[in-house]
């Protein structure tokens, strides 16, 4: 009896394990896939919180003979003479300095929001004359002004150049990157800040980085779900208004809590971006095409000239002449035709085009033809 019960016990155990595995497999199958979600702070910007552009005109000195040629850039000499006059040095009018170690430059910078006087920002220096390189140069004190003409920062420091250029006496030259522009890390000291007004009459407005009605609606839904109905409302597809605290000192903590909420953004629109100058084509993942047949081929025209010499007959008193003989040949090579089924995806489009060996310029022509035929279900943007 014991020997006969053992196989039955094993069979019941094996059946129980198979049943458990089946239930577990079904349970795993019905678990939904994790949905991608972004923080609100990655999708929006607070209205009123923005940076400001600054610009200035200055001089870079200390160059090793790679500065402006004063005959072609006289403003460099004028700027240097004006600077020397401020230090009590007067250059005679009959003297025309021929400087090769100075260059006139523009200095630009971004003034971030909430920055305070005494803090530093990075600046970009670029030559506006014919200086060959700013490597090793020193930017003299330059005021940086905003769009209102007021000075917001003062820039000064050593220019860091990432490019290299060299030229021999024979005229041969080599250049890597751009040597006529550079940066000065922490090269400007802020003298005046800009007050950011982001509290608009008791409400804080969130501007979407990419306007989308679906994303705006989901942001409103997430905020209202976390803090109660009526806390947020959509102004339009690009802005969401959020009720601000009564105490202005609590706005920072309030915005921090809202920006940390997770929101699933709306799907990106189906779009094909074509750069006709470089041949770059970018296709979004939502692009589909209707059923269409595409023929791809290249026409080659060959013209060859084989002149022949015509000799006159004996005693004909004729002259030797050269008779042109042209041969024109037209051939169409690499002709292919491929067919798209209805609703094919990006992978199918790229695979079909690669199989026929189409170049980027050919792909641009194919996409434009599909759009013209109404088979491409996407926005075609040519830049």
User: How many CB atoms within 10 Å of residue 24?
Assistant: 10
d(CA 364, CA 368): 6
What's the rounded Cα separation, in Å, for the pair 128 and 57? Answer: 10
**Phi/psi-derived region of residue 334, left when phi > 0, alpha when psi is between -120 and 50, beta in every other case:** left
Bridge-based pairing state of the strands 271-275 and 379-382: parallel
Q: Would you call 320 helix, strand, or coil by DSSP? A: coil
Query: What phi and psi, each to the nearest 5 degrees, are found at residue 221?
Result: -65, -40
Q: How far is CA 88 from CA 85, 94, 209, 329, in A?
A: 5, 18, 53, 79
User: Residue 106, exposed/middle/buried by CB under 10 A (0-12, 13-18, 19+)?
Assistant: middle
Please give the DSSP secondary-structure letter assigned to residue 312.
P
With vertex at residue 80, the alpha carbon angle to CA 76 and CA 83, rounded to the nearest 5 degrees, is 140
Nearest 5°: the CA angle 99, 105, 110 is 160
The whole-angstrom separation of Cα 95 and Cα 46 is 56
Helix (H) or strand (E) holding 30: helix 2-30
Q: Tokens at residue 92, please?
A: 């005679």
Please report, in tens digits, the pLDDT of each residue of the chain (383 residues total): 344 444 454 455 455 445 444 333 444 344 444 556 789 999 999 998 989 999 999 999 988 888 887 777 788 878 888 888 888 888 777 777 767 888 889 999 999 999 999 999 999 999 998 888 888 899 999 999 999 999 999 999 999 998 666 666 555 666 666 888 899 999 999 999 888 888 766 789 999 998 999 999 999 999 999 999 989 999 999 999 999 887 777 888 888 999 999 999 988 888 888 887 777 778 877 777 777 777 666 545 455 556 777 777 776 777 777 777 666 565 555 555 666 666 666 667 666 666 666 666 777 777 788 788 887 788 888 88
Domain residues of the chain, as ranges? 52-190, 203-263, 271-299+333-382
Q: How many angstroms separate the CA atoms of 209 and 45, rounded?
A: 7
- Run of H or E residues at 311: none
Give the global pTM.
0.66
């Amino acid at each position: 009896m014991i020997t006969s019960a053992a196989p039955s016990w094993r069979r019941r155990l094996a059946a129980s394990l198979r049943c458990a595995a089946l239930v577990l497999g079904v349970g795993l199958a019905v678990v939904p896939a994790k949905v991608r979600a972004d923080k609100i702070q990655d999708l929006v910007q607070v209205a009123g919180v923005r940076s400001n552009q600054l610009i200035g005109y200055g001089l870079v000195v200390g160059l090793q003979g790679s500065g402006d040629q004063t005959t072609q850039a006289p403003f460099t000499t004028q700027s240097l003479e004006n600077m020397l006059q401020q230090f009590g040095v007067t250059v005679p009018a009959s003297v025309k300095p021929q400087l090769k170690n100075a260059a006139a430059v523009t200095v630009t910078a971004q003034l971030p929001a909430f920055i305070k006087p005494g803090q530093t920002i990075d600046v970009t220096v670029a030559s506006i004359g014919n200086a060959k390189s700013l490597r090793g140069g020193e930017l003299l004190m330059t005021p940086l002004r905003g769009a209102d003409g007021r000075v917001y920062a003062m820039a000064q420091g050593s220019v860091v150049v990432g490019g290299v250029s060299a030229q021999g006496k024979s005229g041969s030259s080599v250049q890597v990157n751009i040597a006529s522009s550079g940066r000065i890390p922490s090269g400007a000291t802020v003298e005046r800040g800009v007050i950011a007004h982001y509290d608009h009459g008791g409400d804080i407005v969130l501007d979407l980085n990419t306007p989308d009605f679906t994303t705006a609606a989901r942001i409103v839904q997430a905020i209202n779900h976390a803090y109660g109905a009526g806390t947020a409302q959509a102004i339009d597809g690009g802005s969401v208004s959020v009720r601000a605290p009564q105490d202005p000192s609590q706005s920072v903590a309030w915005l921090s809590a809202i920006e940390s909420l997770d929101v699933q953004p709306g799907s990106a629109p189906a779009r094909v971006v074509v750069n006709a100058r470089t041949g770059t084509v970018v296709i979004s993942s939502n692009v589909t095409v209707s059923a269409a047949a595409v023929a791809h081929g290249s026409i080659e025209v060959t013209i060859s000239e084989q002149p022949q010499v015509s000799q006159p007959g004996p005693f004909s008193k004729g002259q030797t002449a050269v008779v042109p003989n042209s041969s024109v040949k037209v051939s169409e090579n690499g002709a292919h035709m491929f067919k798209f089924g209805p609703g094919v995806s990006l992978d199918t489009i790229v695979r079909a085009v690669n199989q026929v060996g189409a170049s980027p310029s050919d792909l641009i022509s194919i996409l434009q033809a599909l759009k013209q035929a109404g088979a491409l279900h996407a926005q075609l943007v040519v830049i």
